Amino acid sequence: MYLVVGLGNPDKKYENTFHNMGFMCVDRFVQKLGINFDKGECRAITAHARVNGEKVIVAKPITYMNLSGESLRELVNKYKIEKGHLIVVYDDVDLPLGSVRIRPEGSAGTHNGMRSIVQCLGTTDFPRIRVGIFKETPMQLADYVLSQLSAQDKQQLNAAFEDVAQALAEFVGGQDFQAVMRNHNIRLTKNI
């Protein structure tokens, strides 16, 4: 069984913001699987599928970003998710807009959603996909991450959404994680 979690904020006003990259990526993944977010559980909305005989749960916590770990911990406990079968997708202001970085583990960095997850799970040892949102701006960081995407931003991010959805499909399809990283990190390194 696999648990795929996208991070974001649930209110409509946050839908089209940089801080909702995780939600946008898992939306594209769910679309790729041909399923819908149709269940509320563990303070998240979820979609369920089977891929190569394995159950896959895709979740968007509705706890707001800073409490994402609470929802995620409930989902991990409810479904008894094994180590290595959880993957989290989120925005990263330290990576250029539209870039993608896939890692098997790592620190939470400055991301409050990831800090909450690390605190609630008590580990940094789980795969993650970071989607870059950095671009030059005079705005303060807090204002920038909650600002609306422009048409140009969306266009630049579209390839990243598609690439993340494909990487997630490979991950839940049982492909070796090192191969998933090779397939997607190398190709996008040129953009950085």
Catalytic residue numbers, as ranges: 19
Give the pair of three-digit tokens for residue 120: 């609630």
CA torsion sign for 92, 119, 84, 125 is positive
**Token pair listed for 148:** 């609306």
SS (H, E, C) 108-145: CCCCHHHHHHHHHHCCCCCCEEEEEEECCCCCCHHHHH
Cα 14 to chain center, whole Å? 15
**And the tokens for 116?**
């909450």
- DSSP letter string, 49-78: EEETTEEEEEEEE-S-GGGHHHHHHHHHHH
Tokens of 151: 């048409």
